[in-house]
Structure 1
């Protein structure tokens, strides 16, 4: 018996109605036999889990639920143990495992213990009910008895291409909750996983599709045939390609006994990785490994793109992830070496997430000169060119991002290869307008200048920066972007299906403003060479990108010209996807475009985004 919690009395499932006055008098006189109270059937775990996502016993007290302990979580504030019934029913929708929550106290049980558990059944929502995620059925306020130890653990359910359906999730009317829908584990991946909640599962020789994180987690796929990328990942190719074979792996093995593997995409966990299937706030279903496969290093090397030729202009985009002088010197060194050696010193670089000179310190500082100086000095030290830069300081705390950081987009350019015709007037609130000069040439009213910074679409978001460069006397217009984030969208693995993409509204509005600006420039000169680059924070198949290209009428999204298996530069929850884009006007022909994979697939990252390079002859 757990010495911490007091023993609990059994709660009958049915209760007799209260006796009336006459009956009570007759009973007291011995003229009426006492009514028999219905005996409480002791539920088993599959009864508690039920055939939907919600337990039919939610809020009720259960007594002496039998099972075998399969794993113990002995760390953190959500300690407890998983117990599984070795005598399953025949319903594939009802899980045979459940988590027993003990809070911050380590339970005095071990794997292989046969136990009888009593406690209150409840549905725990990671992140709170308003987060929109699925719940975990658990027993809390628990007491238990150990009947025997050293019992064999129930066999782990194999997750593979045959057992996990290709279809991802059922849909509720109007994007509502799927909690009350009957589970169909042979039809939907999320239903399959929910039907295994708390049970032992396993993957075999599993390919890594999401690199190890600082939280000691990684992602594998149970089906290597599901939308593979060219380098061993899993491609998120459409809103219906959610890739249900992905599963997150954490470890219950003490790190002193078995350090967590530092894996990259393309690596493999050979042999068997097994443990109870949990559900986590950050990524959904998670295999809590009590047995961890050996790491096989198969991952591809970091890529290097080719140098631009003498007559080619190279333009790059790179999200440098909250760069400020407060970052370690190593980050500046690594970014610089990547720009010089992996990106071959592009002529123009559109940077995203450049912070002010004191980073996240929340004060009135908005200048980023110290940040950009430190980066350009590191580039020169790495053997690169002496880049100049152009940017516009935002109004304090107006452009979103990390509080106090004042992130913005900025340009680096190599003055030995391109020139920059400065036109005064660009500031945080002034828009750059395309215009025709007295000499008949097309230019900007401010260079660099922002695009419609006063518009509500840019509220709490980075404003685009437009600039004119000259390469061998030819004008090239580049727009650097960092659209609004996906914060607030419902999760792929949440209980609302299909998930709502509420943040999309702002990005569509932003895309229309940038597209309108490009269109106004092309109306002045239909042969103008325009590059729109940066972190659009949306997919190549998204409505936002469709609005940005005006359905392909004014801009071409170059990622769509790559082979399907190469269309990614960011990895999120095991899905390789596109967030960064380079788009060109029709006057730019025969463009050579490359997503340079140096970060997103690797546990050791200088940024969480891969940079991109475009080369063309103006």
Structure 2
């Protein structure tokens, strides 16, 4: 390997001018003028002397193959059991396959030869902890020396302290390897075999969109989640909560998912690896199979991640079930009931009241709020329901500046007086701090058409943990399957409606 070192003239000038006992702290460039990663010639004072360190070189070092750093297990065999860092530094050599500027701060190396063992990875991440020098680009051979670490599950070589690396010749960049999941392993186990390598998704990878492109609260950025063969099912959709079956499926779900990322955090509404993303012709649906995406395999925030290195088009999201023009709306019956998640509809940016937490989870600008409101109103108008249960609406009361009043005004502006809605409020004594429904930032709500249905008395608030109303107050199913009816209501039809949000519900006097 040819190592390039270029020492700036100021280093020699400082060394010549300093007396033997003078303090100094000058770090010169190892190989490039102006680079912030300079490890070649260092002049520093220990208090009573000045030392000059030699440039880093791999020429006399013992090279450890990358696949020996990775090993066949979940962690590096070079790290003692019970520890997260190797006891000594190791020197590895490979070709740069990608740079990490944000999510992973460093670069990826691929072994130049490999061991042809599918159980070991030929790639590894090199952690710099800051900006990557411009010279470290894909196709450059690099030799590095540092401690081997298991950083929250990611095997990496840490050179952030001494920046021990040397640049060699330009070589061909290894071709991305198709991601293959064997029948006897989970997706997580397969990804561990490719950790630090560049892979490409093809039809055989069979990764399906499980959670669409949205905000990831762990990584504090937008991304999507894919799973092997089929989208993940909520365990409690199939089994009782905390049952053995539900717990087993929850664990299986954790082993069968991967986050698809961009290295740089993207603005809202932008997918860096899918530039044609739009709501009309470039949309993504849960269940779409992802193909032709090339990505680096990494691990952070408790999840495996595919960090995209190329771009894809709408044809690379292969779907079996596309959108329909509009869903069929039930036409039989006397009353149409619907439920709708307004996805954090907050009106604070246009002067709306605050919620009990004082935190705005919704739109951060008037333009964003108007766009969200327009989409909600269009959807509710098309649903044409007589009663609508709302979820994730801001919990900022029921007054003129409340979110539910704001939404109601916008909705009724599009409707005739006969089709107009009203909302259900609560008695002041049932409200948290005599204003809110619960103490969370969001809550549930009910809209209804007075021309079709009427309210019978005040709304009932069910205070947890009881989670059911007392006998005789409303009709309710009994254990034998029959319906308990209040004799006083036999003269007319009466229905009891309950709106709840199982994902995140507020409860009076019980927090969230």
Question: How far has the Cα of 1:63 moved from its partner?
Answer: 4.1
Paired residues of 1:209 and 1:234 also in contact (CA < 8 A): yes
After TM superposition, list the pairs within 5 Å mapping 1:556-571 onto structure 2.
none
Q: Deviations over 1:341-368 (max 9, x none)?
A: 1x2x2222222222233xxxxxxx7868
SS at match of 1:48: helix
| Residues 258 and 319 (structure 1), Cα distance of their counterparts in 2 relative to 1, 3 Å cut | closer
Unaligned runs of at least 5 residues, structure 1: 9-38, 126-133, 167-185, 228-232, 358-364, 437-441, 445-469, 487-506, 511-536, 538-618
Paired residues of 2:462 and 2:469 also in contact (CA < 8 A): no
SS at match of 1:378: helix
Alignment partner, residue 334 of structure 2: 312
Question: How far has the Cα of 1:424 moved from its partner?
Answer: 7.8
Measure, in 2, the Cα distance between the counterparts of 1:199 and 1:424.
Answer: 58
User: Which of 70, 73, 82 is matched with 1:49 structurally?
Assistant: 70
User: Which of 292, 295, 310 is matched with 1:291 structurally?
Assistant: 310
Alignment partner, residue 249 of structure 1: 260
Establish whether residue 394 from structure 1 lines up as the match of residue 435 from structure 2.
no
Measure, in 2, the Cα distance between the counterparts of 1:212 and 1:431.
Answer: 34
Measure, in 1, the Cα distance between the counterparts of 2:74 and 2:504.
Answer: 30
Paired residues of 2:224 and 2:261 also in contact (CA < 8 A): yes
Measure, in 2, the Cα distance between the counterparts of 1:96 and 1:217.
Answer: 26
Paired residues of 2:272 and 2:311 also in contact (CA < 8 A): no
The count of aligned residue pairs is 376
Alignment partner, residue 34 of structure 1: none
195-204 or 302-311, which moves further after superposition?
Answer: 302-311
Question: How far has the Cα of 1:103 moved from its partner?
Answer: 1.8
Establish whether residue 165 from structure 1 lines up as the match of residue 182 from structure 2.
yes
Alignment partner, residue 410 of structure 2: 378
Establish whether residue 6 from structure 1 lines up as the match of residue 39 from structure 2.
yes
Alignment partner, residue 6 of structure 2: none
Alignment partner, residue 117 of structure 1: 144
Measure, in 1, the Cα distance between the counterparts of 2:409 and 2:121.
Answer: 59
Question: How far has the Cα of 1:208 moved from its partner?
Answer: 4.7
Larger RCO (alpha carbons 8 Å, 6+ apart): 1
Measure, in 2, the Cα distance between the counterparts of 1:191 and 1:411.
Answer: 46
SS at match of 1:409: strand
Measure, in 1, the Cα distance between the counterparts of 2:495 and 2:454.
Answer: 10
| Residues 269 and 315 (structure 1), Cα distance of their counterparts in 2 relative to 1, 3 Å cut | closer
| Residues 368 and 317 (structure 1), Cα distance of their counterparts in 2 relative to 1, 3 Å cut | farther
Question: How far has the Cα of 1:118 moved from its partner?
Answer: 1.0
Question: How far has the Cα of 1:204 moved from its partner?
Answer: 2.5
After TM superposition, list the pairs within 5 Å mapping 1:332-481 onto structure 2.
332-341=373-382, 343=383, 345-357=384-396, 370-383=402-415, 385-392=419-426, 393-395=431-433, 399=438, 401=440, 405=441, 407-423=442-458, 433-436=469-472, 443=474, 473-481=492-500
Segments of 4+ moved more than 6 angstroms: 253-259, 266-271, 427-432
| Residues 381 and 140 (structure 1), Cα distance of their counterparts in 2 relative to 1, 3 Å cut | farther
Measure, in 2, the Cα distance between the counterparts of 1:191 and 1:270.
Answer: 20
Measure, in 2, the Cα distance between the counterparts of 1:256 and 1:479.
Answer: 38
Q: Deviations over 1:216-239 (max 9, x none)?
A: 634456x6xx23xxxxx5656765
| Residues 256 and 250 (structure 1), Cα distance of their counterparts in 2 relative to 1, 3 Å cut | closer
| Residues 304 and 391 (structure 1), Cα distance of their counterparts in 2 relative to 1, 3 Å cut | farther
Unaligned runs of at least 5 residues, structure 2: 1-29, 42-59, 80-84, 216-220, 239-247, 278-282, 349-362, 364-368, 476-488
After TM superposition, list the pairs within 5 Å mapping 1:543-562 onto structure 2.
none
| Residues 435 and 271 (structure 1), Cα distance of their counterparts in 2 relative to 1, 3 Å cut | closer
Question: How far has the Cα of 1:158 moved from its partner?
Answer: 0.9
TM-score (norm 1): 0.52
Question: How far has the Cα of 1:137 moved from its partner?
Answer: 3.0
TM-score (norm 2): 0.62
Paired residues of 2:154 and 2:298 also in contact (CA < 8 A): no
Question: How far has the Cα of 1:94 moved from its partner?
Answer: 2.1
Paired residues of 2:295 and 2:308 also in contact (CA < 8 A): yes
Q: Deviations over 1:295-328 (max 9, x none)?
A: 2276733663444436332222222222222241
| Residues 431 and 45 (structure 1), Cα distance of their counterparts in 2 relative to 1, 3 Å cut | closer
Measure, in 1, the Cα distance between the counterparts of 2:271 and 2:188.
Answer: 34
Alignment partner, residue 322 of structure 1: 344
Q: CA RMSD in A?
A: 4.2
Question: How far has the Cα of 1:43 moved from its partner?
Answer: 1.9
SS at match of 2:494: strand
Question: How far has the Cα of 1:246 moved from its partner?
Answer: 5.0
SS at match of 1:119: strand
Paired residues of 2:393 and 2:403 also in contact (CA < 8 A): yes
Measure, in 2, the Cα distance between the counterparts of 1:428 and 1:139.
Answer: 53
Alignment partner, residue 202 of structure 2: 204
Establish whether residue 103 from structure 1 lines up as the match of residue 132 from structure 2.
no
